[in-house]
Amino acid sequence: MSARRGGWVFVALLFVLGTAALLAAFRLRHTSMTGSSAVLIFDVPRELEESEAPFRPLSFEVVPRTQPTTYRVVDGLRRAARDSRIEALVLQIDQIDWGWAKVSEVRDAVLAFRAAGKPVYAWLSSGGEAEYLLASAAGTIAMPPSATLQLDGLTASALFLKGTFEKLSITPNFAHAGRYKSAVEQYTRSEMSEPSRAAMEALLDDEYRLLVDSLASARGLPPGAVRRLLDNGPYGAGAAYRQGLVDTLLYAAELDSLALRGVGESAVTQPFWRYLQGLSARGRARIALVQASGTIYPGRSRFVAGEGRVLGSETLIEALHEARTRRSIRAIVLRIDSPGGSLEASDEIWREVERCRRAKPVVVSMSDLAASGGYYIAAGASEIVAQPATLTGSIGVFGGKLNVLGLYRKLGMNVETLKRGRHAEMMSPYENFTPDEEQRFQGQLEDGYRLFLRRVSAGRHMPVAVADSVGQGRVWSGLSARGLGLVDRLGNLWAALGAARERAGIPEDEELAVEVLPKVEHSFFERALADWLQEDDGDNARAVSLPPVVGALLAAARFPAGASLALMPYRVVIR
């Protein structure tokens, strides 16, 4: 290509990008409401993340579109409750893949909207317990006549791979510190151990009680009646209406008209995401909202195919350092949604949290998960706030390796290894641990567990023996953790922001400016891969989900062999 032709191509590219930018700016400038009053239409997203989504270069958008995050959704709903232009709210709920704590977070914001004297309508195209729990915050619940309400109770499942490994001639070599640290059971057993079963049963009991109590309060029913309704489900739309679970049967197109009739014909409808785009920053008193979301790894936060966003210790430490050293930031809220991960990386983050706490108030807000390494990094904070449905604790350590030599030989391959040093092959994927190596490895894990206990003991002001008694790798609900002294209070993100305000001495009547950290960073190729692994769904992106067995095998391989892991023992999906 000649220099002149290259120059024309460059000019043309600048013209196209400039035009696109102007159009995008024009579009964003016209997202503000044009009517004197409006009904917000909230198309509830299937996925709800804690951190901002990366820019998607393959979507051909010069300005990235609004992506749903918990903070943005809750902040928008709470500001709409005080906005005199907003008359009502319509929730359009299809299917949501949120944890129970996130459902409670958004539900609390919807209830705050209703408490401001503004009507809320919910339309359920279908759904189960999570969808109905969110809808129950509305004053009016509607379903289409052909829908099904899958309201029939809760289940919790765990996958075991021992038989699979035996068929593949793979030998797991794992150990753990903590009686309930049952992550290794996934690879070494065919069923739950008694300690693991007891912990899972207790979690299920807590979640079920929270569900029953919330629905009983919302629908004005005694808890026993709600349990009977759950036992007799699921329901067709007609049966749900007759049982008083929904208030009316109508189609989606009719719901907007119903809401508009309730507030006056002069009102207009306004998409919630567009309303968010029109909101501006407020206040001068700054609080940093530092987001810690994903499995904890050493290094930078990044995208991992099949797992999504992971939490890099370097990225989070830099964000905490910025919040600590900026004089304009008066307090820090550390928002955690993490099952844990690398013990080393968790300890590095803990150290920076501890340094922050010495400089200014640090309040932890727990989302769906703040377990194992997720709890480790919380332990150094001034105060911990959790939702009743948060899964936390899991104070324990495990690690190990998979010996794949048998699989290789089954496939016609062989491996020969030369070594120097008695234990040079200790972490080799082609040899089992010797009895001496098993003992040495167990000792390493016990050292890591004792360090974990010391961090909890210092941060929670409890004797090490007490930390050990509530530790042992056991996962607790936020409800139980409060009674055990692992968290200070039960509440949502707004409660954590209020606690940070109080500790920083910011008056109640002074507006807060919440600054979200860290800033999103992804390489071009990571962002391109992320875009390829997502499918478009209106304004929302849905991540590709892996079959459980594939996810479990990836989990075994994603950390170096022998790494000490402060990682939640299982992924609890209660549906």
For the stretch 207-227, pLDDT in tens is 999 999 999 999 999 999 999
Taking residues 405-430, report their average pLDDT.
91
Whether the pLDDT of residue 287 is over 70: the answer is: yes
Q: Per-residue pLDDT for 68 more than 60?
A: yes
d(CA 323, CA 363): 13
Asked whether the predicted pLDDT for residue 570 surpasses 70, the reply is no
* Banded pLDDT at 122 (limits 50, 70, 90): very high
- What is the pLDDT, as a whole number, of residue 438? 92
Q: Spell out the domains of the chain, with CATH numbers in brackets.
A: 31-152+233-277 (3.90.226.10), 175-203+282-415+422-567 (3.90.226.10)
φ, ψ for residue 122, nearest 5 deg: -120, 135
Percent of the chain with pLDDT over 90: 61
Quick: pLDDT tens for 452-502. Answer: 999 999 999 999 999 999 999 999 999 999 999 999 999 999 999 999 999
Confidence band, pLDDT 50/70/90 cuts, at residue 375: very high
Mean pLDDT of the chain: 84
pLDDT (0 to 100) of residue 556: 52
Using alpha carbons, select from 380, 372, 350, 398 the residue that is nearest to residue 572: 372
pLDDT tens per residue across span 131-148: 999 999 999 999 999 999
Is 70 exceeded by the pLDDT of residue 316?
yes
pLDDT at residue 202 greater than cutoff 90: yes
When mean pLDDT is compared across 64-73, 388-397, 562-571, the lowest value belongs to: 562-571
Question: pLDDT value at position 520?
Answer: 64
- Provide the pLDDT for residue 561: 60
**Torsion of the alpha carbons at 260, 265, 267 and 268, rounded to the nearest 10:** 70
Torsion angles phi and psi, residue 26, rounded to 5: -60, -40
Average pLDDT over every residue of 291-295:
92
- The whole-angstrom separation of Cα 380 and Cα 384 is 9
Between 5-9, 93-97, 327-331, 395-399, the lowest mean confidence (pLDDT) is in 5-9
Give per-residue pLDDT as tens, 226-259: 999 999 989 999 999 999 999 999 998 888 788 8
79 or 3, higher pLDDT: 79
Burial of 115 (0-12, 13-18, 19+ CB in 10 A): exposed
The pLDDT score that the predictor gives to residue 515 is 92
Residue 571: predicted pLDDT: 56
DSSP 87-101: EEEEEEES-----HH
32-46, 85-99, 438-452: segment of lowest average pLDDT = 32-46
Q: What is the reported pLDDT for 28?
A: 38
**How do residues 263-283 score in pLDDT, each as one tens digit?**
776 788 899 989 988 887 777
What per-residue confidence (pLDDT) applies to 259?
81
The 268-271 sheet, strands edge to edge: 248-249, 140-143, 120-124, 86-93, 38-43, 268-271
Res. 565: pLDDT tops 70: no
Q: Which amino acid type is present at position 363?
A: V
Active site positions, annotated: 181, 372
CA distance 207 to 214: 11
Going from the C-alpha of 279 to that of each of 80, 106, 186, 378, 533, the distances in angstroms are 10, 18, 46, 31, 30
The structure tokens 């991540």 sit at 543
Task: Give pLDDT tens digits for 502-558.
Answer: 999 999 888 889 999 997 654 555 455 444 444 333 333 333 344 445 555 555 555
| N-term to C-term CA, the chain | 59
Per-residue pLDDT at 126 exceeds 80: yes
| Per-residue confidence (pLDDT) for residue 134, from 0 to 100 | 97
pLDDT at 304 over 90: no
Q: State the pLDDT at residue 29.
A: 38
Stretch 38-58: mean pLDDT: 78
**Location of structure tokens 């030998």:** 171
Residue 159 has pLDDT above 80, yes or no: yes
Banded model confidence at residue 22, pLDDT cuts 50, 70, 90: very low
Read off the pLDDT of residues 332-363 as tens digits, 9 standing for 90 and up. 999 999 999 999 999 999 999 999 999 999 99
Using alpha carbons, list the distances in angstroms from residue 556 to 49, 175, 266, 327, 349.
24, 13, 59, 43, 23
pLDDT tens digits for 162-196?
A: 999 999 999 999 998 988 887 788 889 999 999 98
pTM: 0.85
Residue 59: pLDDT band with limits 50, 70, 90? very low
* Range of lowest pLDDT (51-55, 354-358, 410-414): 51-55
Report whether pLDDT(60) > 70: no
